[in-house]
Amino acid sequence: MNIKLRLTILNFLELFVFGAWLISLGGYLGGTLHFEGMQIGKIFTTLGLASLVMPGIVGIIADKYLNAQKLLGLLHIIGAGFMVYLAQTNDYDTFFWLMLGYLTMYMPTLGLANTVSYSILTNNHIDVIKVFPKIRVWGTIGFIIAEVAVGTFGWAQNNYQFYFAAIISVVLGIYSFTLPNVPLAKSENKSLAQRLGLDAFALFKEYKMAVFFIFATLLGVVLQISNAWASEFMRSFATDFPDSFAVTNSNTFIALSQVSETLFILTIPFFLKRYGIKTVMILSMIAWFLRFGLFGIGAPEGIGVGYLIMSMVVYGAAFDFFNISGSLFIETETDTKYRGSAQGLFILLTNGVGAVIGGYGSGYVVQYFTTETGRDWFSIWMVFAGYAIVLAVLFALVFKYKHNPEKIKEVSH
């Protein structure tokens, strides 16, 4: 089989597993298991907790002790076992720990899948920068297809989504063992702190980088809000609009967000070259404000449907403009000796620290606006929208950066 096709299948299945449960989880926890707002928020903190140290530890193992493709397969097979137990769990405490256990296995595979792809392409003398983006986009397509499939089969509100994810995890685990071997890294005299990317904290001594990383963490909060509550929010319309497409096919409806994400990627080179990283990141924050604000005034019928659709559309700008421009900022502004560690720190702060804060904080907000008659979603989304616009204003005021188009020669996605 063609090596590019084999890696396309790898990336497709890698995010297919994620899409099978991530978007529908919030609605399942609230609608089927009847967990409270704080409980749902805490369960979503497991995404951040698992991202804090495990990717670094697993990276060390893949470098020194076990070939990356074998480790990738092993983690997915173990993760499938956690998914099977999750499908059979109704108790909050047990669910929390099982989810943490599962994500401890899964979150490092996101980086490992990239490592395996880079290594195999390089070993086959294939241009990574030119070819990998075309392979990686199939990961997003896999996420969308899994998300839509779960909704179409009616699994978004039952435990079949976890069995589905477990089956695909086993398939991916076995498939990973068939991939070409990724050699162990040659011995390097790196400290544990360097291997974990902690040496990049030295960048906080520079005002510009300190401000950037602080806001990267604060923006990590809003992504977790979107992951945790979009499905539960759409489920809330079931009483008044039971036959609405947005209710009966909520996963498919929400999948418009990921479709938008794939389209907005194409616009980033233009915006970065023309307006610069600071402006693009501010646009991301404004897009998050619109994402939440449009949710607040949206409804499954009439003009409200238009607001919901627009909320899905602006998600692409909200997500892509921050993640890709932020990564590029690090690539162009940091010393080469910190660059790899700085990219790791960026992920740790957004997907780790930001996700934990977002889980707890959003859970508290939702709980605060929940009464015996239900959740006050308008107030909830307005609080989140207010948070996003305050970030935009503060960032515009305190982040000092002069745009130099010459630094942006090429944007790789």
Give the mean model confidence (pLDDT) for residues 359-372: 94
Residue 207, classified by CB atoms within 10 Å of its CB into exposed (0-12), middle (13-18) or buried (19+), is exposed
Q: What is the mean pLDDT of the chain?
A: 88
C-alpha–C-alpha distance, residues 13 and 106, integer Å: 12
C-alpha–C-alpha distance, residues 119 and 126, integer Å: 10
Predicted confidence at residue 106, as pLDDT, reads 95
Predicted confidence at residue 315, as pLDDT, reads 94
Taking the C-alpha atoms of 126, 127, 133 and 139 in order, what is their torsion angle to the nearest 10 degrees? 20
Give the mean model confidence (pLDDT) for residues 13-36: 95
413 pLDDT tier (thresholds 50, 70, 90): very low
Q: Which structural domains are found in the chain, ordered by start?
A: 1-185 (1.20.1250.20), 197-413 (1.20.1250.20)
Give the mean model confidence (pLDDT) for residues 395-412: 70
Q: Are strands 370-371 and 374-375 parallel, antiparallel or unpaired?
A: antiparallel
Cα separations in angstroms, 293 against 319, 395, 400? 16, 20, 28
C-alpha–C-alpha distance, residues 234 and 160, integer Å: 19
Residue 411: pLDDT over 50: no
Predicted confidence at residue 409, as pLDDT, reads 52
Give the mean model confidence (pLDDT) for residues 48-64: 83
Please check whether residue 20 is in contact with residue 12, taking contact to mean a CB–CB distance below 8 angstroms.
Answer: no
Sign of the CA dihedral running 324, 388, 230, 214:
positive
Write out pLDDT tens, residues 219-270: 999 988 988 999 999 989 988 899 898 888 899 999 999 899 888 887 877 8
- The residue length of the chain stands at 413
* Between residues 154 and 272, the one the model is more confident about: 154
pTM of the model: 0.85
Write out pLDDT tens, residues 83-96: 999 999 999 999 99
C-alpha–C-alpha distance, residues 43 and 41, integer Å: 5
Give the mean model confidence (pLDDT) for residues 102-117: 91
C-alpha–C-alpha distance, residues 29 and 363, integer Å: 12
